[in-house]
Amino acid sequence: MSPKSPMPNRRTVIQTTAATLGSLAVAPQLWAQNAPVRIGYTMSRTGPWTGGAQVSQEPNYLLWAERINAAGGLDVKGVKRKIELISSDDRSDVETVVRTYEKLMGSDKVDLVLPPWGSNANFAVAPLANRFGYPFLAPTALSRRLVEMKLPYFFLLLQQPKPMCDAIVEMFKANGIRSVACIYVDDLFGLENYAAFKVALQGSGINLVEDKSYPGGVKDLLPVLRSIKDKNPDAFVGFTYPPDTILASRQSKEIGFNPKVFYASVGTAFPLYKNVMTPAGAEGVMGMGSWNSKTSPGAKAYFDAHVASQKKEPDRWASGACWAGLEILTQAVKLHGLDRKAIRDYVANTTHKTILGDIRFAGSENIGTPGTIGQWQNGEFEVVWPQSRATAKLNTQKPSWS
C-alpha cells in the first residue's frame, strides 16, 4: 500500500465483510429455490406386477413431470422448480420395495415420494411412510387393513372392498341376478374383496353357488370354470389381477361359459383387455371402473394428453385415481411448499376438486367418490353403476363371446 493511500477505517472493513458474508448466505438460499424438486419412487418394470404398474401408474408419473416441467416447473409456494424423478425397478418384489423407499426417505432424503403399485407393495411400505413423515397418495391399493392401521400420512384413492362390493350386489339386486359364482386370487387383494363380497351378499337373496381361491401366477383356470359353468349361475365375479382376468375370460370363451354378468377385476378396464379379447369379444364384460373421458372436462383433457404423450390410452380405473392424486399433490405443494406435515394436513382436511369429482378423506379412506362399475360397450369402458355416475346405460345381458 502506498504511504499516501488512506488506511480503511474499521467501519469500512466491517461493512465490506458483512456484505461478503451476506452474499455467501444468500447463495445457498437462491440455489435451493432453483434446485429441482427431488421426487422418488419405485415401480414394477419387470415381474408379475409389470402389467398393472406400466398401465396405471408409471405413465402417469412421467406425464405429470413432463407437463409440469414444460410449464416451467412445480409451483412451490410461488416459486417454479423443475421436477427430478428418482426411480428404479422393484422387480415386483416386496422386499425390494421396502429397501428402496427406506433409502429414498431415510438416507437420500428426497423431497417427496410417489407410491408403488398394488396392495401388497403399499401395505409393506405404508408404515415407513408414516415413520419418515412422507405423504402417500396411493392410487392402486385396495385394503381395509390399510384403513384400519390408521396411518396419518397414508391415503387410499381407490374405493375400498366394502363400497366396491356393496355396489356390485346393489347392481345385482336391481337387475334380477339370483345366483353368482366367485373366484379370487389368494393374496391380500383377493382375500379382502372376497370377504367383503360375502358380507354384501348376506340377506340379499342372491345365492353364492361356488367360491374358489387360486394362487398368484395361475396358468390354468379351466377346472374351476367348468365346475362353475355346470352350476349355471346368473353372474360370475372374479377378484383377479390382469393376467388372471384375461386368462379367465379366454378360458370362459373356450368352454362357452357366458353368464348374464361377467365381472372381473384388475385389468378389465385396461385398453389391453379389449385389444386382446377384441372389442367385440370384450363387449358386455364388467369390471372395476371409476371414470372415462366423459366423466368430466378435466378427464377428457387428461385422456387426450396421456394419448399424445405416452402414445397409448390410460386405463379407465386406477389411471384416473393416479392422476387425481397428482392433482391433489400439485395443489398441496403450491399452497404449502415442501413442508410434508403441512401437505399431509391439507390432504387430510380438504375436499379436493379432481378429474374424478370431489375427493375427501376420512382417515386414510376416500369417502368422496363412490364405488363404480364399468362395462365394455362399443369399444369404450362405460361407467354403468351407480346410475348417478353412469356414462351409459347398463347392458343387463352380456352377449355371447365373439
**Residue 381 in grid coordinates:** 369402458
143 has a pLDDT exceeding 60:
yes
Q: How far apart are CA 250 and CA 186, in angstroms?
A: 21
Instruction: Give the pLDDT mean for 114-135.
Output: 96
Residue located via cell numbers 353368482? 180
What pLDDT sits at residue 142? 85
Spell out the domains of the chain, with CATH numbers in brackets: 37-159+295-366 (3.40.50.2300), 161-292+372-389 (3.40.50.2300)
pLDDT at 15: 38
Average predicted confidence (pLDDT) for the chain: 92
- pLDDT tens sequence across 223-243: 999 999 999 999 999 999 999
**Under DSSP, is residue 258 helix (H, G, I), strand (E, B) or coil?**
coil
Answer yes or no: is pLDDT of 19 > 50.
no
For residue 377, what is its C-alpha cell? 360397450
**Distance of alpha carbon 109 from alpha carbon 104, whole angstroms:** 6
On the question of pLDDT at 28 being above 70, the answer is no
> Residue ranges of the alpha helices (H) in 94-136?
94-102, 119-132
Measured in whole angstroms, the distance separating CA 110 from the mean position of its chain's CA atoms is 21
pLDDT of residue 228: 98
The label of the residue with cell 432424503 reads 109
- Tell me the three cell numbers of residue 351: 375436499
